[in-house]
Amino acid sequence: MRRELLPRDLGFEVQAGDEASLFAWFLASFLFGNRISQALAARTWEVIVRQHGRDTPARLCACSHAQLVRMLGEGGYRRYDESTATRLSQLCRTLVDEYDGRILGVFEASRDRADFERRLLAFRGVGPVTLGIFMREAGPALYGEG
């Protein structure tokens, strides 16, 4: 069985109260949760975050659909690039419109961990796999587990 990629493989650690690391891991988890290889998902994350500086929901929302498709393609994410671009756009728009553009906004609006997870699952394109990947690292940071 192959080892799952971790935030440190992408050059950061998820820290409690650190919006930048939480969003970086949420975006990575979103990409890892899709049906492409971890290597392509990691490369695509690098393209979006490191090469294009789209490291916040607001910066990601500033991209047009065509720009998102192009970035996904640069990362090698070709098979689902159109639908993934749409889901990414909706994801960041929901974060900006409903949660002050912050993963911590989702956390602060939640009554408890179950409510936080339910809210994340409400994002289009976030299913149980993506949630599991995200919470593996974010759960201990947010809820002091582990």
Q: What's the number of domains the chain is made of?
A: 1
CATH number at residue 63: 1.10.340.30
What is the per-residue pLDDT for 49? 97
Please state, as a whole number, how many other Cβ atoms lie within 10 Å of the Cβ of residue 120.
22
pTM for this prediction: 0.94
Range of the domain at 40: 18-143
Q: Could you tell me if residue 48 is inside a domain?
A: yes
Q: Could you tell me if residue 10 is inside a domain?
A: no
Residues 6+ apart with CB under 8 A from 31: 41, 42, 44, 45, 77
Q: Could you tell me if residue 12 is inside a domain?
A: no
Lowest mean pLDDT among 26-30, 35-39, 85-89, 97-101: 35-39
Q: Could you tell me if residue 5 is inside a domain?
A: no
Q: Read off the pLDDT of residues 65-122 as tens digits, 9 standing for 90 and up.
A: 999 999 999 998 877 788 899 999 999 999 999 999 999 999 999 999 999 999 999 9
Is the backbone of residue 101 left (phi > 0), alpha (psi -120 to 50) or beta? Answer: left
The pLDDT-based confidence of 141 (bands split at 50, 70, 90) is very high
Residues 6+ apart with CB under 8 A from 37: none
Q: Could you tell me if residue 106 is inside a domain?
A: yes
The pLDDT-based confidence of 37 (bands split at 50, 70, 90) is confident
CA distance 117 to 107: 9
Query: Quick one: how far is CA 30 from the chain centroid?
Result: 4
Q: Could you tell me if residue 51 is inside a domain?
A: yes
Q: Could you tell me if residue 52 is inside a domain?
A: yes
Following DSSP, what letter does each residue of 56-92 receive, concatenated? SHHHHHTS-HHHHHHHHHHTT--TTHHHHHHHHHHHH
The pLDDT-based confidence of 1 (bands split at 50, 70, 90) is very low
